[in-house]
Structure 1
């Protein structure tokens, strides 16, 4: 039963809250005795008791104390409303309610309803299964090359490059599936995600969801987005430098790495960028394995449930990959070369696209994010990738797995990628109407922007610290 308060006429009504009062619950992340409030459609929910059972993991923590209406609707089916009702505790004070009678958010919500009528949220099963079989074809080609030419360095390297491409393309397909773009039934998506994401690619779906959904909820927000929480390996803003070098914040980091090494890494990060990207897949594989271990989420207030299907799926990945490596290559040097080359090339193929999505774009502090509209935040922190010749856009679409439409994907994460080209002009036009910066550039120019940001941060570090 929700808390009530006595109204002027003596009748009990729902408890009411001021937004400033609700905002204090953001401290609940650090003080366990506080309630954990969220605002959805001007109603207040205390999700403290739900944190350990939240299927989406720690992403829920990014919206504590905030209006989570659009974030909630972006990530949950309508059936979740029945569960949400169990945590209702009151309403926002009428004078403090947010209205969407006009503005960017109102139009985005209206466009969403239009896109539903146009069936843009419905996937083409033939499209996605052609992607699946196409990816498996790349894998078969890689194994075939290894079987025939596995005793030559050239054959091993060609096979490794094809295997890396297979993993990269499976990454994009698993991304779509785990965003629930393929099936209406989320259980089917999760099972397919286990096959494509775990068995084929080697990344656990729950590890990926915990990391990626948090990124979607707080893109490029310093201290929240795990995709930019990479310092000192790569530092993307002056905020990261404060964490690294300011005595008030850097004591814990100093226990891990000495300051001279941190300085060296930051100052030369433009030179180390590509070598670091080549190690990305190995890092993600290790993180994925650690995540599904019994104590892998021990320090998180919100844990994602790990099933035996997920564990078995991940084991199967290493069984089939280890088997082809052992049986089709009879030289330990070539086996080692195949394993390392496949991992390194895949790391580059994945991270080159990831970096273009958001790196080098605006980094927000938590305070800036608190004051910003959810959809505006998705737009100004993202970058679309285009070609100088529109006829070749299909090449970018294939290589980037639809993530070249990053802005559209962040606004509507459950729209299948084969509809992005239809909605892109509409979203860009709406951003121009409301003077919201909408950034799109070529693959090469976007990479230059990423390097420019790394160089700027390095320069600031050398001068200021």
Structure 2
């Protein structure tokens, strides 16, 4: 399937003007600020401290298990807060700082190069478009939209999805990055040519990961303690990452655009498809917003990915009011539990709907 085309844009100019006015009137830069840099230091410092304590000063079992859970959460939180802004160029006004922030993903085991293509270039451009958006391709294990083939096992996907989400981190690090690298594609979208330094960074960090997270901890702690700890960290990180991204796009209220054929064109303009296929959740909860790097403001992120997440609560009020004035969708769940319930209900319907 080829990536589709969109209808003629008209809403984007209105939203862009309203949001730009906010920054211009307040003389505020749309990139990160001191609060973001402080949060980055806290998250990275806590992560490094926990790693050192677990590997070199291994505590008793019950305390080590708790620290492994925290390390798994911090893995996801660094991805949400540091890597994500850096990869979108919104962490700082300095490109080299953004690149450094994005490289935190490579340190954690995944490839920032592959993420840039999969997330920035494909997912943001073709959100929830089956056959193009790789984020909704969990076949054969999950059926996430009506256009995907239904299998008998999907009748139970609303029960077993928890286990699959916990495996995301393993799958990402040890399979999907390599698949993209060797096939030179993200789904149906070809990768841009890799330069020599892209190859070097890819393999350099992929070789560093087993030393830092497997061999060294195994040597210092023993095989069984390492294995238990590693499984806890990876499963907590995978489940957290998967759940947050799914609550933003695969819930009952979101749409899955289908291009008309043979023109391969989606009638709605790009902005409207983003509003129909994306959902916010728990935007009044400051703790959730802080931990998730503003990804609960997914609408704001998709419409303005170059704006740092620290500004999402402010521009969210503008975008919500603009959508209300224009009579266009703005999907939001007041609490995270409501978004999770909607996601489970969606999985149940997709598993039983012919």
Question: Under a length normalisation based on structure 2, what TM-score does the superposition of the two structures give?
Answer: 0.87
Compared with structure 1, are the counterparts of its residues 197 and 148 closer, same or farther at alpha carbon in structure 2 (3 Å cutoff)?
closer
Distance 1:291 1:207, change over 3 A: farther
Looking at structure 1, the residues matched to 86 and 94 of structure 2 have their Cα atoms a distance apart, in angstroms, of 11
In 2, Cα distance between equivalents of 1:271 and 1:354: 18
- The residue number in structure 2 matching 1:455 is 348
2:209 equivalent in structure 1: 317
**Match of residue 279 from structure 1:** 167
Out of 406, 409, 418, which is 2:298 matched to?
406
Aligned residue number for residue 22 of structure 1? none
Q: Which residue of 2 aligns with 1:53?
A: none
Answer yes or no: is 1:381 the counterpart of 2:293: no
Query: What's the secondary structure of 2:152's corresponding residue?
Result: helix
Distance in 1 between residues matched to 2:278 and 2:99, nearest whole Å:
27
1:84 matched residue in structure 2:
none
Matched, 1:224 2:132: yes
| Residue 180 (structure 1) aligns with | 89
Q: CA RMSD in A?
A: 2.6
Is contact 1:198-1:204 (8 Å) kept?
A: yes
CA deviations on 1:321-360 (whole Å, 9 max, x unpaired) are 2355224413x22221111111111111111111111111
Residue 64 of structure 2 corresponds to 156
Q: 1:129 aligns with which of 26, 37, 62?
A: 37
2:102 match: 193
Any unmatched runs of 5+ in structure 1? 1-26, 30-61, 68-97, 245-261
1:411: Cα distance to partner?
A: 0.5
Determine the C-alpha separation between the residues in 1 that align with 2:206 and 2:38.
Answer: 24
1:121 touches 1:181 (CA, 8 Å); kept in 2? no
Match of 1:437 in 2: 329
Structure 1 distance, partners of 2:276, 2:329, is 6
Number of the residue aligned with 1:212: 119
Q: Which has the higher contact order (CA 8 A, sep 6+)?
A: 2
The CA deviation at 1:148 is 7.4
Q: Distance in 2 between matches of 1:234 and 1:381?
A: 18
Q: How far has the Cα of 1:107 moved from its partner? A: 0.8
Q: CA deviation at 1:108?
A: 1.7
1:426 to partner: Cα distance: 0.8
User: Does the 8 Å CA contact 2:31/2:306 hold for their aligned counterparts?
Assistant: no
- Could you tell me whether the CA contact under 8 Å between 1:221 and 1:369 is conserved in 2? no
8 Å Cα contact 2:111-2:177 kept in structure 1: yes
Q: TM-score, structure 1 length as denominator?
A: 0.67
Report SS of the residue matched to 1:449.
helix
Aligned to 2:158: 270
Residue of structure 1 equivalent to 2:287? 395
Pair 1:297-2:193 in alignment = no
Inter-CA distance 229–188: structure 2 relative to 1 (3 Å threshold): same
- Quote the Cα distance in structure 2 between the aligned partners of 1:436 and 1:300: 30
Check conservation: 2:6, 2:265, Cα contact below 8 A.
no
SS at match of 1:384: strand
Q: How many residues are paired up?
A: 340
> Kindly tell me: are residues 296 and 121 of structure 1, through their superposed partners in 2, closer, same or farther at Cα, counting changes over 3 Å?
farther
Distance in 2, matches of 1:268 and 1:400, equals 29
Secondary structure of 1:218's aligned partner: coil
Deviation sequence 1:190-243 (CA, Å, 0-9, x none): 24312x1111x21111111111121100111122111111122111122113xx
Task: Tell me which of 296, 310, 317 is aligned to 1:425.
Answer: 317
Partner of 1:440, secondary structure, is strand
Distance 1:458 1:325 in 2: 41
Matched, 1:346 2:242: no
Contact 2:257 2:266 in 1 (8 A): no
Q: Conserved in 1, the CA contact under 8 Å of 2:127 and 2:277?
A: yes
Q: Any stretches of 5+ residues in structure 2 without a counterpart?
A: none
Q: Distance in 1 between matches of 2:146 and 2:61?
A: 44
**Contact 1:141–1:162 (8 Å) recurs in 2:** no
